[in-house]
């Protein structure tokens, strides 16, 4: 899909909204490309919150997001769609492939400086960009793996060279004057995309042991992970190879590469069509007991609609326990509430109101921990 231009009224309204909300917040929507290659329709605008663009609220203009993961929302986006966002303080130049990798559709960036439009850029989904995203994840991990200053210097040099390539991933986009149209909501009438709500009760002792062994070999508090498969009895066995992540995280593309070929594929395609529907994310928590938090929930069922398991172990390699956060309704209810709180933060008029919002945000984070269900480690 080639885009020839974007309607001027869409650009103006997004820039006006960005100027009105100020405070460095962005605004965005899903746009729709007509047969002439012009973006002339859009969903209602969504304002950015504390953590940037509230993706669930954005996708809710495409499909009802209640009880759904982000990937289930993404798969309902019409084929002629683009993501449009403003970039306060920037010229609109796109210098990364994160968005196009996640959404697997064109991304439009509108730069806003001093309250005025500063430039517009577009990036298209391309296989080479998805592979660049993989390289970026790998480079970040290689920095952790470097043993000497010289090794780290070489990795940083590779990182800089890769960053320079990102300067050429986007192109300019023309503004076209077209009749103004009203925002549209939930145009798509396709069959809903749903992943099964998998139940997990136990994990293979051998599988868990392999992960902990690798975790001990790597050290430094780095997490290791693999994709597992859950059977009809709720028991997880290993599906792919073990991969090594960073301190407190395992990158999504590196994780997926443990069991499937991710070459030339976007994250959206990988987690919706390539990884088996009974796939489960399993990772280690060095120094922990397997209890997880909000970040784990978002990295598992929140984003990809799949259960996530954590195996806790001590510094001697002894497994302390394992828990799972399944794709239960509460995961998505808390995610919706967290986005709402991120927006309410900017409406607070008094210190007391802001304190109440901040306290509830911490409370929501704690709610995720309560969703951790202990599972059995057995043969």
**pLDDT of 190:** 75
Average pLDDT score over residue span 114-130: 96
Say whether pLDDT at 354 is over 90: yes
CATH number belonging to the domain at 5-126+169-176, selected among 3.40.50.10420, 2.30.40.10, 3.40.140.10, 3.40.50.300:
3.40.140.10
Distance in angstroms (rounded) separating the CA atoms of residues 315 and 126 = 43
pLDDT of residue 281: 98
* CA-based nearest residue to 18, from 119, 122, 117: 117
Show the tokens assigned to 362. Answer: 């911490």
What's the pLDDT at 123?
A: 98
Q: What is the pLDDT of residues 217-252, one digit of tens each?
A: 998 789 999 999 999 999 999 998 999 999 989 999
Residues 275 and 256: beta-carbon distance below 8 Å: yes
Retrieve residue 64's tokens: 């009802």
Task: Say yes or no to pLDDT of 92 above 90.
Answer: yes
Mean pLDDT of the chain: 95
- Please name which of 98, 100, 90 lies closest in space to residue 120, comparing C-alpha atoms: 90
Is 289 a residue whose pLDDT tops 80? Answer: yes
**pLDDT value at position 372?**
97
pLDDT at 142 over 90: yes
Label residue 218 left, alpha or beta by phi (over 0 means left) and psi (-120 to 50 means alpha): alpha
For residue 298, name the pLDDT band (cuts at 50, 70, 90): very high
8 A C-beta contact, residue 122 and residue 108: yes
Q: Using the predicted structure, report yes or no on whether residue 23 has a pLDDT greater than 90.
A: no
Q: Report pLDDT digits (tens) over 274-287.
A: 999 999 999 999 99
The CATH fold of domain 202-329+365-378: Cytidine Deaminase; domain 2 (3.40.140)
Whole-number Å distance between alpha carbons of 84 and 207? 43
The CATH 3.40.140.10 domain(s) of the chain lie at 5-126+169-176, 202-329+365-378
Average pLDDT in the 195-215 region?
A: 96
**Widest pairwise Cα distance in the chain:** 68
* pLDDT tens-digit map of 361-374: 999 999 999 999 99
Mean pLDDT over residues 311-333, rounded? 96
pLDDT of residue 191: 83
Residue 26's pLDDT is 95
Query: What is the model's pTM?
Result: 0.94
pLDDT grade, residue 343 (50/70/90)?
A: very high
Task: Grade residue 187 by pLDDT with cuts at 50, 70 and 90.
Answer: confident
């Amino acid at each position: 899909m080639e885009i020839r231009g974007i309607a001027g009224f869409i650009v103006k309204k997004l820039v006006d909204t960005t100027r009105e909300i100020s405070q460095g917040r962005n605004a965005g929507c899903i746009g729709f490309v007509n047969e002439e290659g012009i973006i002339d329709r859009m969903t209602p605008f969504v304002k950015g919150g504390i953590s940037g663009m509230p993706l669930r609220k954005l996708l809710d203009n495409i499909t009802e997001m209640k009880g759904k993961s982000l990937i289930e929302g993404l798969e309902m986006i019409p084929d002629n769609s683009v993501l449009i966002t403003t970039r306060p303080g920037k010229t609109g130049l796109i210098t990364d492939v994160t968005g196009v990798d996640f959404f697997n559709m064109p991304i439009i960036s509108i730069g806003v400086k001093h309250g005025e439009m500063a430039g517009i850029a577009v990036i298209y989904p391309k296989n080479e960009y998805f592979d660049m995203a993989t390289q970026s994840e790998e480079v970040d991990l290689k920095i952790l793996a470097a043993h000497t200053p010289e090794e780290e210097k070489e990795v940083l040099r590779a990182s800089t060279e890769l960053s320079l390539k990102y300067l050429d991933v986007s192109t300019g986009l023309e503004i076209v004057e077209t009749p103004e149209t009203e925002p549209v909501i939930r145009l798509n009438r396709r069959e809903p995309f749903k992943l099964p709500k998998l139940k997990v009760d136990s994990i293979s002792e051998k599988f868990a042991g392999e992960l902990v062994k690798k975790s001990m070999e790597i050290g430094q508090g780095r997490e290791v992970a693999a994709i597992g498969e859950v059977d009809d009895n709720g028991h997880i066995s290993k599906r792919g190879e073990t991969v090594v992540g960073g301190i407190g995280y395992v990158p999504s593309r590196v994780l997926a590469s443990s069991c499937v070929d991710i070459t030339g594929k976007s994250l959206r395609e990988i987690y919706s069509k390539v990884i088996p529907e009974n796939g489960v994310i399993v990772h280690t928590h060095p120094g922990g007991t397997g209890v997880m938090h909000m970040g784990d929930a978002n990295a598992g069922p929140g984003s990809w609609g799949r259960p996530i398991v954590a195996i806790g172990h001590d510094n001697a390699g002894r497994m302390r326990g394992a828990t799972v956060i399944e794709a239960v309704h509460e995961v998505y209810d808390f995610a919706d509430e967290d986005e709402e709180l991120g927006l309410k933060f900017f409406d607070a008029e008094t210190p007391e109101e802001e304190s109440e919002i901040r306290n509830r945000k911490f409370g929501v984070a704690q709610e995720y921990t309560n969703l951790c269900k202990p599972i059995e480690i057995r043969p």
